Structure 1
Amino acid sequence: MSTRIVVVDDTSPNINYAGTWFQDRGSKDSLGTYGAPYQSTLHGTTTNGSSFSFAFNGISVDVFATLEIANNSGVIDPQWECFIDGSQIPTYSPSTAPTNHWTLCGFTFSAGPHVLTVNATVREQTFWFDSIQYTSSGGSTTNQSILIDERDEEFRAGLSEDVWHFTSGVGYSSQVPNAAFTFNFSGSSLEYYGFIPDNFPRVDATATWAVDGGTPQEFALEATPPGTPLHRFQKFFQTDVYPIGDHRLQVVYQGDSTKTPLTLTNVIVGNGTTTTSTGIPSGSSAGAGPTGTSGTSGAATSGKSTNLGAILGGVLGGLALILLVALLFWLRRRRRRRAEPQEKPNTTVVQPFEPTTAAALTAAPPLAPSVRTKGQLSLATNESDFSRTTAVTSPQSAGTALSPSAPSSSPAPAHATDNIHSESDDPRVIVVHADSGVRLSQVIPPHARVEEVPPTYSA
């Protein structure tokens, strides 16, 4: 996770001043133990009721000032009030000693556009305003002064754990010869801030800095006399101004365990961005120290790429495994279906109706075919094949079932044109019913004796 803070100097044209204000440059740099004001500039007022306002888009804000005398005869002078969007927010008590870089007020709120307003109440002492720091919300903030510290992943990645240690609750320090800090930044310049510890050897040391593999530039690490308190917010160096873009900083310690350590609290990138740096092209050179501690940032970037590749490989491998299992399941199911016996279709075979006597064949056209399905017994060829016969009471139309009525001994109805004759002379017609219930039209000769045979079924 990256936490990058936008730093707004008192000289910014985006700050609106109301009342009487004047500027100062450099006269308060040595005040107290909290370093010099940001960019060594201040806005001051001795007019009661003077104020300033600043519009921004963010989720938190802090206001910094210089206090010359915090308490005069028991009366706090000057005093201040802070407002966000017209609502007053808490303020911090003044310091007990003159100091720079003192927080007047700070607050966290919902993300979005806000307006900060600070009102000054002045009696005898000058109210000195230094800078504003806010955490941006929404999209990337570019071309601003960006403060980056240990809360940022890339910042920590440039500090090798075996040579750098978090010290005094303030920042990192190292006394390992050739200990290095490497950092990729996007902007035009960089300011390096550290601290002067109060519990380390009191011997001066040196270190070097270089940007994009250029000629190393040396800077001093000055020791303080015994009994001197911890000094914070010390700016050790500021780089040259480069074209806005991606650059790489490398700092190398030239001392040892007998000298003042190299320390680091934060950097401020000029014309920077709140988004993570894209890094330096692989062709750029950052140098390397004898201990192998340099180039840590590049190693961290490589590790991130390796992790991303491992994640993508795992996802693709999982998808391939799922597809393979699905394919094997489908092939196995297909093979099993082929091995199972196929159900044979129930085909219907139309067979012609076969009369049982020659007289019936000569006396009338062929009877309608009988429907026989697979598994039925074929049509009987003599009377002994049937269990019983029934007489037809009336002719049936096509598709209408013949209804059995009386036994065959009952006389069949005669047509109006038929003569009376002996039943023994009538031709005999046997009709076998199929189990499908289909009835086809057929011509029954006059005086024919129709005997119906119920359907027969196979076992």
Structure 2
Amino acid sequence: MSAASTFVRQVVVDDTDPAISYGPEGWFVADPSVLTKGNWGPIYNGTSHATASTNSTLSFSFKGTSITVKGSVIISTDTNNITDPTWTCSVDGTEIPSNPFNFPENNWPLCNQPQMASGAHTLTIQVKSKGQPFYIDHLEYHPLLEAVFPSAVLVYSDSDPALTYGAGWAQGDGMSTQTAGSNATLSFYGTSATLIAYISGKGPPNAIIAHYTIDGGAPVTFQLTGQSGAQYNQVIFTTPGLPDGPHNLTVTHGGDINHTPLSVKYFFVTNTTTVASTASSLSSTGTSVYRPTSTVLVSPHRAENISSAIDIVGGVGGGVFLLAVQGAIYVWYRRRQRRATGEASMFSPYPMSGSDTARPFVQLSGYFARTRKRGFGATGEVPRPSRAKRASPLVRTVRHEDSGLRLEDGAQRIPEIVELPPGYTPL
């Protein structure tokens, strides 16, 4: 199996997602204007939840193999060196490492479990505060390989197989280039993409214009602003809303070694209607679905059509099969009926009655059933199955015709003679 086929992208869960269950005590929507300090970039999607309660909890259930909690860390320390707030993160009741930091930062990993058993898990966070708020911004986790969701935002890292780089790119904290005209292309399925970059601040601070194109369309320019220091998680641009489907996004550097580098740390890609290439991944409710793997992706509408076609073909195939079986039974029955009728007319040209005629008819009928596939000759001879060192006897039916004259009642009748073969001892 190739590496690309097992590459699983992280799913981003915003603090406003209803999948996050906030406890009844103390949680509120934070004011984003107070979350602007530090050099780790802006808060995700412009929203954050906070609590300043003495005992607040939240939980999040998921199926995956890792999880990271990110938020804004603002910690105060009193004269006794006691910090506020404090928090404990656990998965399935087992505590995972927390990561407090003494300086204000957004997008900070508050706690992280990079590896865990594949399966269903529940994250729980317990917060204790004496007045300093605790802020949660978003969650990131690796889902199961076969995961399917109605919609989600995925993280396409700089090493994602969906990213290809032209000449002039170098690996650092992400990928970057100072080569004029150098580009990188992201192939994705969704409705928008956001470029997030790391700016080292070590290069020339001169701003420069770069551009991106979508599916070979008209270039859209954006500015690379020079920075005097390192800046993490910087939002470079977000594409406008795109038609739901596969797209190619190409970013091109417009500067050189005398200007700010173009950098790619990761992309946030909004996948609202993405599915895997197999029809088995389709949503049973008909809603849009996606899988977070790097396998070849197709339009959900095509996939739904494939699923419908499979259903239709299955139904039609079943119906055709049933009709075929019924037709075969009907043909067999008609042939049997015709042969039975021919048998009766051949061996009994006139209606027979009485025990004397019943026995040879049954015997002939049974014999006919055993040899009906061999056919009949023009004389009515029925070949008996051959047996080694023994001649095959023949059975001949002799039909006697009368004059057609019918005597009146009471007159002496001439007996009608029907010659039939004797019953044979079974071989």
TM bracket (short chain): 0.5 to 0.7
SS at match of 1:235: strand
SS of residue in 2 equivalent to 1:39 = helix
TM-score (structure 2 length as normaliser): 0.61
What SS does structure 1 have at the residue aligned with 2:204?
A: coil
- The corresponding residue for 2:195 is 192
Structure index of larger Rg = 1
CA separation of 1:72/1:144 partners in 2, compared to 1, >3 Å: closer, same or farther? farther
Q: Which amino acid aligns with 2:296?
A: T
SS of equivalent to 2:117: strand
- Residue 222 of structure 2 corresponds to 219
Q: Write the distance in 1 (CA, Å) between the matches of 2:246 and 2:227.
A: 36
1:14 matched to 2:3? The reply is no
From the superposition, tell whether residues 16 and 280 of structure 1 become closer, same or farther in structure 2 (CA, over 3 Å): closer
Q: Which residue of structure 2 lines up, in the alignment, with residue 128 of structure 1?
A: 135
2:98 counterpart of 1:80: no
Distance in 1 between the 2:233 and 2:144 partners? 26
Specify the SS of the correspondent of 2:69.
strand
Q: What count of residue pairs does the alignment treat as equivalent?
A: 272
1:63 aligns with 2:84: no
For residues 275-290 of structure 1, what are the structure 2 equivalents within 5 Å? 275-276=293-294, 278=296
Check 1:223–1:29 CA distance in 2 against 1; reply closer, same or farther (3 A cut): farther
SS at match of 2:38: coil
- Using the TM superposition, give the Cα deviation of residue 195 of structure 1 relative to its aligned residue in structure 2, in angstroms: 1.4
**Counterparts of 1:144 and 1:179 in 2: how far apart (Å)?**
31
Does residue 183 of structure 2 align to residue 165 of structure 1?
no
Q: CA offsets, 1:393-426, max 9 Å, x none?
A: xxxxxxxxxxxxxxxxxxxxxxxxxxxxxxxxxx
**1:38 corresponds to:** 44
Distance across 2 between alignment mates of 1:68 and 1:90: 18
Residues 26 and 277 (structure 1 numbering): CA distance in 2 closer, same or farther, change over 3 Å? Answer: farther
1:13 alignment partner AA: P
**Larger helix fraction of residues:** 2
CA, structure 1 residues 164+28, in 2 after alignment: closer, same or farther (shift >3 Å)?
A: farther
Aligned counterparts, 1:92-131, within 5 A: 92=99, 94-107=100-113, 108-131=115-138
Native 8 Å contact 2:8 2:143 kept in 1: no
How far did 1:270 drift?
0.7
- Indicate the RMSD between aligned Cα atoms, in angstroms: 1.9
The separation in 2 between residues aligned to 1:271 and 1:190, in whole angstroms, is: 9
Instruction: Output the CA distance in 2 between the equivalents of 1:70 and 1:165.
Output: 40
Query: Displacement, 1:244?
Result: 2.4
Structure with the largest fraction of strand: 1
Aligned to 1:177: 180
Kindly tell me: are residues 210 and 71 of structure 1, through their superposed partners in 2, closer, same or farther at Cα, counting changes over 3 Å?
A: farther
TM-score (norm 1): 0.57
**Match of 1:183, as an amino acid?**
L
Q: Secondary structure at the match of 2:48?
A: strand
Does 1:144 find its partner at 2:152? yes
Counterpart-to-counterpart distance in 2, 1:84 and 1:208: 43
Inter-CA distance 112–5: structure 2 relative to 1 (3 Å threshold): same
The unaligned stretches of length 5 or more in structure 1 are 282-459
Q: Is the 8 A contact 1:246 1:278 kept in 2?
A: no
What displacement does 1:280 show?
9.2
The equivalent of 2:233 in structure 1 is: 233
